[in-house]
Structure 1
Amino acid sequence: MIKEKHLLSSFVFDKKYQICRHVLFIMFAAVITFNQVLIAYQDCQVFLGNYLYLIGGSSLLTYLIIMYFNYFYLTPKFLLRDRILSYLIITMICMLCLPLLSLWIEYGVRNWANLNHRIADYSSPLILVDILSTSVITLICFCGISLILLYRTWSLANQHVSVLEIEHLTSELNKLKGQITPEFLSRALYHASLWTIKDPQTTNDILLKLSELLRYQLYDAQQEKTLLNSELLYVTKFISLEKRCRPVLEYRLKIDKPQMYHQISPMLLLTLVQSFIKKSNTLEISSNVENNMLTFICKSHSITRALDDQLTSIRKRLDLTYSDQYILQLETGSITLKLALSK
């Protein structure tokens, strides 16, 4: 299951907070921009008056255009497509243009208003140092925006992969879920037809038990978990029906009744018994639960090679459902399953 997003993560990435994010970003950019304007024109704030707001607004608009150009075009078209060199070149050009544009605006405003220039020599090497330092600060803002987009892309891709993995595991698990074998169905229906004339009641009993097993397979087996009591009940019904269809089968059951809250993956034990009983005329089954640990044992006089394929699919299902919470042991004449139960 995919975890719920953290509040901060939701605010940064969810579409419902998109307007709030942009408003917050514009307010943050406005504070920084107007602070820079006030510092640049602190010697003539009284003279410029309301023109300071016009200068600050034009500077803010310039910065926002470049920032959103990076957000909507540069990062998606270059950085996210691994065109890193092109992205760096264009970004550096933008970073150098912004402080140069600010100096050009300041130079034009002071000439227009016949004010003394804050910078005595615009060709001084110190101007280059100032431009570079300002570019680095702006670059940090750019990198912050780009990193957010990179992280969002990575997060969405990671979430997509997680969803695909869950869907794949679910599909794989559904394919591995046990089913009543066609051989058993054919045998049950055949014996039901034999008793139709001789003993209709026996036919009814066979068909009733078969319908209960099929109903369990069609409905309960579609759930992720089922009650252990239900699984053991249908194991008993399956063996009883097999006995009806194959009178030579001798079986003995020793099943301790588990607690009502114990749950298990449906059709797991039934599939195990079905695989084990296929070519055996004797069967002993014992089941008990202790400290939320199920011990399920099937014993018989013979185990054929045909059982190996069935155990492979059962083991795969156990790996997907219970991971390292089970032990499946195959010995001559017996299978033992130890399983940690859920509540």
Structure 2
Amino acid sequence: MIGSEYKNILFDFLTQSRFKVWRHLVFVSALIPIALSQAFFVLGSAEGITIRTIYLYGLGVAAAMVVFSYFNIFFLTPRLLIKGRYVDYVLLFFLSVYGFVTMKYFVESHIMGVERAVTGIALLDWLSNSTLYGICIASSSATLLFREWIKDSRQIDSLENSQLKNDIEEFKNRINPQLLYSTLSSASVKAKSNPQQTSEILFKLSELLRYQLYDCARERVLLESEIKFIENNLTLRQENSLFRFGYSISAEGDTSLFVAPAVFMPLIDIVLNQKPSHLSIAFKVDARLRLVCTASGTNLRDCNLLKIKQRLQLLNREFELVKTDESITLVLC
């Protein structure tokens, strides 16, 4: 229990915005002793250099480390590392570190009043210092990367939950039991009085069920099959709906392209729920696929399209959705 509380405190300290100032204070406080220890190590044994000079030099190194660290936090990490520009990040990061260490060597030489020769030992010392300061500066972006990882994990979990819920709803809505029952009841009533119409109704019902049971299980279907599914669905609804409505479907362009199954029906369902007197459905295919649903006798301005947007986002489709009083336009890019 106590261990869990400490974990929560550490997690909150690293991620919560209310601890932002404290995180920066802890980070800066950690850099100061590192810089001072380096200053005493390099200048402590040199002759003629006062303690005050060493402290001033150490604080200057600490200030430079803070500047480079915040350059890493606020520029390099968010603009390059998080956006996946890893090569650019590594190049700029190491150029900054090497530039900082080189500048530090020149300042040390000036303070000690000596000119350092470029030897193998000096080069190794330069590389070891670059590694040390590189680790210190790179650690400045750890909390930022941790928060980004938490954010991405939560977003993935949210999308997975939404995907699961949408899959369940889609599975439940593939076969409308009310429509099936109403259609069979209507067919049985008309079987003797109008056998030709009964045969047509049952044929459309069989096509509808075949599409929902088999084609909806595929990742992609032909647009012309999707249009036929919409037509059969509307015909059966027209026969069994509690309110009377008319409809028309038109298609312009090449309908042999592939789309996700039942991708348009949820939008048409939303329009039908407004009980229009007439529904006009127009498909247009050029560089993009456009669906325009125009309804007469109702107002579509108050239609909630949130689920439509979520489903299209889950399908990883770029889309435009425009709503007016009389129509809803869906454009798939």
TM-score normalised per structure 1: 0.49
1:97 has 2:37 as partner: yes
How far apart, in 2, do the equivalents of 1:263 and 1:279 lie? 29
Unaligned runs of 5+ in 1: 1-75, 108-118
Per the TM alignment, residue 130 of structure 1 is displaced from its structure 2 partner at its CA by 4.5
Q: Check whether the contact 2:39–2:55 (CA below 8 A) recurs between aligned residues.
A: no
State the partner residue of 1:126: 53
Amino acid at match of 1:339: L
State the partner residue of 1:153: 146
CA displacement 1:259-279 (0-9 Å, x = unmatched) = 135565643543455566679
The structure-2 alpha-carbon separation of the partners of 1:186 and 1:278, relative to structure 1 and needing over 3 Å to count, comes to farther
How far apart, in 2, do the equivalents of 1:162 and 1:173 lie? 16
How far apart, in 2, do the equivalents of 1:273 and 1:173 lie? 17
State the partner residue of 2:306: 316
Q: Check whether the contact 1:263–1:341 (CA below 8 A) recurs between aligned residues.
A: no
Amino acid at match of 1:233: K
**Residue 33 of structure 2 aligns to a residue in which SS?**
helix
RMSD between aligned residues: 5.0
1:231 has 2:231 as partner: no
State the partner residue of 1:260: 255
How far apart, in 2, do the equivalents of 1:273 and 1:160 lie? 34
State the partner residue of 1:294: 290
State the partner residue of 1:327: 322
How far apart, in 2, do the equivalents of 1:176 and 1:253 lie? 28
The structure-2 alpha-carbon separation of the partners of 1:207 and 1:100, relative to structure 1 and needing over 3 Å to count, comes to farther
The structure-2 alpha-carbon separation of the partners of 1:220 and 1:158, relative to structure 1 and needing over 3 Å to count, comes to farther
Q: Check whether the contact 2:291–2:331 (CA below 8 A) recurs between aligned residues.
A: no
CA displacement 1:45-95 (0-9 Å, x = unmatched) = xxxxxxxxxxxxxxxxxxxxxxxxxxxxxxx99984644334433442233
Q: Check whether the contact 1:78–1:87 (CA below 8 A) recurs between aligned residues.
A: no
Per the TM alignment, residue 285 of structure 1 is displaced from its structure 2 partner at its CA by 3.8
Per the TM alignment, residue 184 of structure 1 is displaced from its structure 2 partner at its CA by 1.6
State the partner residue of 1:49: none
CA displacement 1:271-325 (0-9 Å, x = unmatched) = 455566679797564524264463545556x55xxx979x734x22444438872
The structure-2 alpha-carbon separation of the partners of 1:189 and 1:271, relative to structure 1 and needing over 3 Å to count, comes to farther
Per the TM alignment, residue 192 of structure 1 is displaced from its structure 2 partner at its CA by 4.8
**Residue 303 of structure 2 aligns to a residue in which SS?**
helix
Amino acid at match of 1:260: T
Q: Check whether the contact 2:31–2:65 (CA below 8 A) recurs between aligned residues.
A: no
Per the TM alignment, residue 219 of structure 1 is displaced from its structure 2 partner at its CA by 5.5
How far apart, in 2, do the equivalents of 1:250 and 1:79 lie? 61
How far apart, in 1, do the equivalents of 2:250 and 2:153 lie? 45
The structure-2 alpha-carbon separation of the partners of 1:235 and 1:289, relative to structure 1 and needing over 3 Å to count, comes to same
Bigger relative contact order, structure 1 or 2 (CA pairs below 8 A, ≥6 apart): 1
Matches of residues 47-58 of structure 1 in structure 2 within 5 Å?
none
Q: Check whether the contact 1:296–1:337 (CA below 8 A) recurs between aligned residues.
A: yes
**Residue 256 of structure 1 aligns to a residue in which SS?**
strand
Amino acid at match of 2:53: L
How far apart, in 1, do the equivalents of 2:63 and 2:275 lie? 79
Matches of residues 1-343 of structure 1 in structure 2 within 5 Å?
80=14, 82=19, 83-84=22-23, 85-101=25-41, 119-121=46-48, 125-133=52-60, 141=133, 143-164=136-157, 166-167=159-160, 170=163, 181-192=176-187, 206=201, 209-217=204-212, 220-221=215-216, 226-242=221-237, 251=246, 253-256=248-251, 258-262=253-257, 266-267=261-262, 269-274=264-269, 283=278, 285-289=280-284, 291=286, 292=288, 294=290, 296-297=292-293, 303=298, 312-313=303-304, 315-320=305-310, 321=312, 325-331=320-326, 336-342=327-333
Per the TM alignment, residue 242 of structure 1 is displaced from its structure 2 partner at its CA by 3.8
Q: Percent identity?
A: 18
How far apart, in 1, do the equivalents of 2:169 and 2:11 lie? 44
**Residue 312 of structure 1 aligns to a residue in which SS?**
coil
Amino acid at match of 2:231: T
CA displacement 1:212-257 (0-9 Å, x = unmatched) = 43453456557776543222111221233345657x9685645235
Per the TM alignment, residue 158 of structure 1 is displaced from its structure 2 partner at its CA by 4.1
How far apart, in 1, do the equivalents of 2:189 and 2:260 lie? 35
Unaligned runs of 5+ in 2: 1-9, 69-132
The structure-2 alpha-carbon separation of the partners of 1:278 and 1:230, relative to structure 1 and needing over 3 Å to count, comes to same
TM-score normalised per structure 2: 0.50
How far apart, in 2, do the equivalents of 1:261 and 1:164 lie? 36
Larger Rg: 1
The structure-2 alpha-carbon separation of the partners of 1:213 and 1:286, relative to structure 1 and needing over 3 Å to count, comes to same
How far apart, in 1, do the equivalents of 2:332 and 2:55 lie? 71
